[in-house]
Chains A and B, each alone.
Chain A
């Protein structure tokens, strides 16, 4: 019976090596529409990342960091922009998981994206690391 875990381990490693070569499907029409929408919004968000008004949160969303630099009348719009971007991002993570036939991967997709957004943030942008805000 001691063989059982060994067999399991062998089979597991075999399946690991097979699956690791797979690609993630990210070309569904919905993903395309979300990318397009986020790309259009990015022209509005980029100056806000640069000024530190908006930062990249640790959970794969964007968050208000310090709105002080934004004109008063536009702070509500920044809030709306953040909400819209986060709605798209959440949809994107769900949709990628779904497009690959594993809706339960959503949180894994979100975590992967969270790390990549933060790592690839441009210098000067604010990102959340270990719960606190850091400027890249």
Chain B
């Protein structure tokens, strides 16, 4: 504080005028002060220029009900100060010994808030604040206006400009909110304690913060009261150095941070955060899901522990380290189904801005839909937003999924990532696979070679061939695509060809009566939504070659009932009853499924004719099965098929 000039003049009118040139202080400045003491014990203080922090006023006037100048002591009681921009006048009393540079100051606001300060002869200030409304701060600090702060603060302050600073206080009902609502707090109760001492050219400080009530939203995180903070550091040349801050946070054993805050720009130049023993089940939903997958937040599950470190420079992430300890991640399917899960997972994943790094994880197992995945090692080379996987072998049943040259490219935004590589499915036993999928047991082997595996947010393309040897023949799937794999519109398309399937095994597996012989099938444009067919162009027909062709009475009835009320077995009912099996020459059935309707066809494939032959008889006794209703509701057909397989089908034979 510097008092520059003290010219005293007594005017001829009996009033005393006393002027001060300038008072400077980091928090405020006064220029052109003039005290008038007119007769009658009143006093008036005029200030040509007033600055409080960075708010300026001109020609400010303070009228005191009682004022006096006694020696070097100026006294003002019941003073009223009106300042442009402040909603209410301030009530001010003070007593100032100009020679000793000591005194007291009391400010009362109309809302009951009070500030009492004592200026001591050593230049220090002691102040107590009660019920200070943070809502008036924007009037003093216009740049706070966009944050609409609120709440009441009670506290004590001791301050010596060249020695120490001590603040102890409590905020109640604290609030703020940015204009876009992305950063806000409500009903915050906070205990604050800051101690600082000036050591040669820098302030060394310690701080404690206890957050007892309320909540805050810092996009995209919602955080409730509970965390507390202890920190220490220094302030030097406009930089606040937070050397160490330790935060207690639910679900985290240790959380420490350090930072450099540039006080001129208000920006952090550097922030480093270290985390140890975080419980993923607690921190996952709160801190990871909002960043990683806000849309799937409710479907993501976390378990296990993570430790790690983060470093930012000028707001940009420069370093990330994560160490997983028996961690588990799962994503419930979009339809509420079992989805995808991995864990327990342990290992280390580092990332550096502009530098390649290498991570290694040991994954104890996983699950995809109903299939359990075995343990595997995951080695990755990470370069910026690109992840290159080592050869990855995920055991599945008695075989494995082997990915080679798998690369994920994060793209420029969250929505344009891509992936590519190749996949080999090492032979899986169909017996185990059908058992795991709760399907009727089948024998055989599934294997695949998919050299062109490509993925993007909208689709996963499997360019290659998957072959299932089953029922003495084989099925071959090509052009497999999983579309919208992560959303509600998830569906799958493929083309399937089957050759020389043994009808005896097939019909036995699905309890469809008994047919001997072989069939080929061709299914084009198969579309599955949640594993249910919604579209295809399928044709099943007897395989070429010489082999016994017999069909049981039960199978005839089942085929007829599949054809609906219009389908009849062209044989007399009485005759049908005499025989258990019949000979046939050819079986053929087609279905084009579109918009829930199956357009059926028979052996001849002639779509014009009203009737179509499904089974043409041959040998003795022979019979034809003929369909008359080409358009069948697909759901009805599936229901009939299920009834047939369940053995409850009532044969409709005329």
A interface with B by C-beta (< 8 Å): 27-31, 33-34, 36-37, 53, 64-70, 72-73, 75-76, 79-80, 82-84, 86-88, 90-92, 94-95, 98
B217's contact among A69, A76, A94, A95, by CB below 8 Å, is which? Answer: A76
- CB <8 Å contact, A33 and B290: no
- CB <8 Å contact, A75 and B457: no
B216's contact among A31, A53, A72, A90, by CB below 8 Å, is which? Answer: A72
B181's contact among A33, A69, A82, by CB below 8 Å, is which? Answer: A69
How many Å lie between the Cα of A32 and that of B436 in the bound state? 30
- CB <8 Å contact, B484 and A68: no
Known A67-B180, A91-B487; further 16 A-B contacts with Cβ < 8 A: A29-B527, A29-B534, A30-B491, A64-B180, A64-B182, A67-B182, A72-B185, A76-B217, A80-B294, A84-B294, A88-B488, A91-B484, A91-B488, A94-B458, A94-B484, A95-B484
Q: Using Cβ atoms and an 8 Å threshold, which residues of chain B touch A92? A: 489
B295's contact among A29, A68, A84, by CB below 8 Å, is which? Answer: A84
How many Å lie between the Cα of A36 and that of B335 in the bound state? 13
- Chain B residues 201-255 with CB under 8 Å of chain A are 215-217, 219-222
Return the chain B residue nearest A86 by Cβ. Answer: B295
For this complex, 25 residue pairs linking A to B, each with C-beta atoms less than 8 Å apart, are A29-B534, A30-B491, A33-B488, A33-B489, A34-B487, A53-B181, A64-B181, A65-B180, A66-B179, A67-B181, A67-B182, A67-B184, A68-B184, A72-B186, A73-B215, A76-B221, A76-B222, A79-B290, A80-B294, A84-B294, A84-B295, A88-B487, A90-B458, A92-B489, A94-B484
- Chain B residues 477-514 with CB under 8 Å of chain A are 483-484, 486-491
Is B177 an interface residue, CB under 8 A from the partner? yes
Give per-residue flags for B435-477: 1 if the beta carbon is below 8 A from chain A beta carbons, else 0: 0000000000000000000000111000000000000000000
- CB <8 Å contact, B483 and A98: yes
Q: Using Cβ atoms and an 8 Å threshold, which residues of chain B touch A95? A: 483-484, 489
A100 → chain B, closest Cβ, in Å?
14
- CB <8 Å contact, B184 and A80: no
Q: Using Cβ atoms and an 8 Å threshold, which residues of chain A touch B297? A: 80, 83
Is B529 an interface residue, CB under 8 A from the partner? yes
- CB <8 Å contact, A37 and B177: no
How many Å lie between the Cα of A92 and that of B290 in the bound state? 23
Interface size on B, residues (CB 8 A): 39
How many Å lie between the Cα of A80 and that of B219 in the bound state? 11
How many Å lie between the Cα of A12 and that of B177 in the bound state? 57
- CB <8 Å contact, A29 and B216: no
How many Å lie between the Cα of A79 and that of B297 in the bound state? 10
Q: Using Cβ atoms and an 8 Å threshold, which residues of chain B touch A36? A: 488
Q: Using Cβ atoms and an 8 Å threshold, which residues of chain A touch B177? A: 68
How many Å lie between the Cα of A37 and that of B334 in the bound state? 11
Return the chain B residue nearest A78 by Cβ. Answer: B181
- CB <8 Å contact, B489 and A72: no
Q: Using Cβ atoms and an 8 Å threshold, which residues of chain B touch A30? A: 483-484, 489-491, 529
Of the candidates B182, B184, B295, B535, the one having the most CB atoms from chain A within 10 angstroms of its own CB is B295
Given A29-B529, A30-B489, the answer on whether A79 and B219 have CB atoms closer than 8 Å is yes
Q: Using Cβ atoms and an 8 Å threshold, which residues of chain A touch B484? A: 30, 91, 94-95
How many Å lie between the Cα of A88 and that of B488 in the bound state? 8
Of the candidates B179, B222, B487, the one having the most CB atoms from chain A within 10 angstroms of its own CB is B487
A81 → chain B, closest Cβ, in Å?
9
How many Å lie between the Cα of A72 and that of B295 in the bound state? 19
A45 → chain B, closest Cβ, in Å?
14
Q: Using Cβ atoms and an 8 Å threshold, which residues of chain B touch A80? A: 290, 294-295, 297-298
How many Å lie between the Cα of A12 and that of B184 in the bound state? 57
How many Å lie between the Cα of A88 and that of B294 in the bound state? 13
A75's contact among B222, B489, B534, by CB below 8 Å, is which? Answer: B222
Return the chain B residue nearest A95 by Cβ. Answer: B489
Q: Using Cβ atoms and an 8 Å threshold, which residues of chain A touch B217? A: 67, 72, 75-76
Return the chain B residue nearest A52 by Cβ. Answer: B181
- CB <8 Å contact, A90 and B415: yes
Q: Using Cβ atoms and an 8 Å threshold, which residues of chain A touch B534? A: 28-29
Is B595 an interface residue, CB under 8 A from the partner? yes
- CB <8 Å contact, A87 and B181: no
- CB <8 Å contact, A91 and B222: no
Give per-residue flags for B287-302: 1 if the beta carbon is below 8 A from chain A beta carbons, else 0: 0001001111110000
Return the chain A residue nearest B488 by Cβ. Answer: A37
A91's contact among B185, B219, B296, B458, by CB below 8 Å, is which? Answer: B458
- Chain B residues 55-70 with CB under 8 Å of chain A are none
Return the chain B residue nearest A69 by Cβ. Answer: B181
Of the candidates A27, A29, A69, A73, the one having the most CB atoms from chain B within 10 angstroms of its own CB is A29
Q: Using Cβ atoms and an 8 Å threshold, which residues of chain A touch B529? A: 29-30, 33
How many Å lie between the Cα of A65 and that of B290 in the bound state? 18
How many Å lie between the Cα of A18 and that of B460 in the bound state? 34
How many Å lie between the Cα of A84 and that of B529 in the bound state? 20
Give per-residue flags for B182-205: 1 if the beta carbon is below 8 A from chain A beta carbons, else 0: 101110000000000000000000
How many Å lie between the Cα of A57 and that of B220 in the bound state? 19
A46 → chain B, closest Cβ, in Å?
19
The 7 closest A-B pairs by CB, nearest first: A67-B181, A68-B181, A83-B295, A30-B489, A83-B294, A84-B295, A37-B488
How many Å lie between the Cα of A67 and that of B527 in the bound state? 41
How many Å lie between the Cα of A114 and that of B563 in the bound state? 47
Q: Using Cβ atoms and an 8 Å threshold, which residues of chain A touch B290? A: 76, 79-80
Return the chain B residue nearest A74 by Cβ. Answer: B222
Return the chain B residue nearest A87 by Cβ. Answer: B295
- CB <8 Å contact, A34 and B488: yes
A66 → chain B, closest Cβ, in Å?
5
Return the chain B residue nearest A85 by Cβ. Answer: B295
Given A53-B181, A95-B483, the answer on whether A29 and B294 have CB atoms closer than 8 Å is no
- Chain B residues 380-432 with CB under 8 Å of chain A are 415
B185 → chain A, closest Cβ, in Å?
8
B312 → chain A, closest Cβ, in Å?
22
How many Å lie between the Cα of A132 and that of B338 in the bound state? 43
B422 → chain A, closest Cβ, in Å?
23
Return the chain A residue nearest B178 by Cβ. Answer: A68
- Chain B residues 340-394 with CB under 8 Å of chain A are none
Q: Using Cβ atoms and an 8 Å threshold, which residues of chain A touch B219? A: 75, 79
